[in-house]
Amino acid sequence: MKVIIENATGEIVEKKSRFIANIFYVANIEDANEKLNQIKKKYYDAKHNCYAYVIGINGDTVKSSDDGEPQGTAGHPMLDILKGNEFTNCIAIVTRYFGGILLGTGGLVRAYSDSLKSAISNAKFSELLNAYEVSFSINYDDYGKIENAVQSINQLNVNGQNIYSTDKVFEDKVKLKYLVNTDVFDKLSKELTNITKGEVILDKNNQKNYYLVGKEIKYL
């Protein structure tokens, strides 16, 4: 799944009708409704504000509306595009200013779809990833070895990191917290068990879904 990290707008004109598409990140249904209300206020004089949204880790919460357009010509095609692009936690709203010329069913589907695709092409997004958050304490003698093990595992991923350090505290022992992608969890767990001679055994109790905005970690 993918998450919008920079909202975007796209616009087309079809037979004098103006279609303005906006796509937003939303945290939940309430947030989606708030974005919809904002657009309705902004384009208060428009004839239609059709929308579709997808929310949830697996994109299980969905809704769409044709807002007065013929059934199936706006909201559902927009929803298909969001799902086809594997977006989640986003709402797409297409505002139409009617130009006086009827477009027909096929023309409406194309116009709403093309305007949304235009907005998507202007948007920035990030992959939604699955990881475990782990924390443990180690002796100072093992700290450098563990840092080297983490670095080696991260180098296996040419597209970015697999493991992120989220906290370090140096007291009588070194307290570490990492976000560990699920596909390298077992490898790191084995490395830490070997380095600490069995004193550190990682567990899978705290699972997280996250994405990156630059270098900043955001949780879904």
Q: pLDDT tens digit string along 105-124?
A: 999 999 999 999 999 999 99
DSSP state of 86: T
Any idea what the Cα angle at residue 123 is, between residues 112 and 82, rounded to 5°? 50
Q: Name the fold adopted by 2-127.
A: Ribosomal Protein S5; domain 2 (3.30.230)
Give the bridge partners for 25, in sequence order. 90
Residue 144 has pLDDT above 70, yes or no: yes
Query: Is CATH 3.30.70.240 correct for 129-219?
Result: yes
Provide φ and ψ at 189, rounded to 5°.
Answer: -60, -45
Average pLDDT of the segment spanning 42-71? 95
Any idea what the Cα angle at residue 113 is, between residues 109 and 114, rounded to 5°? 115
- Secondary structure element (H or E) that encloses residue 217, with its range: strand 216-219
Domain boundaries, the chain: 2-127, 129-219
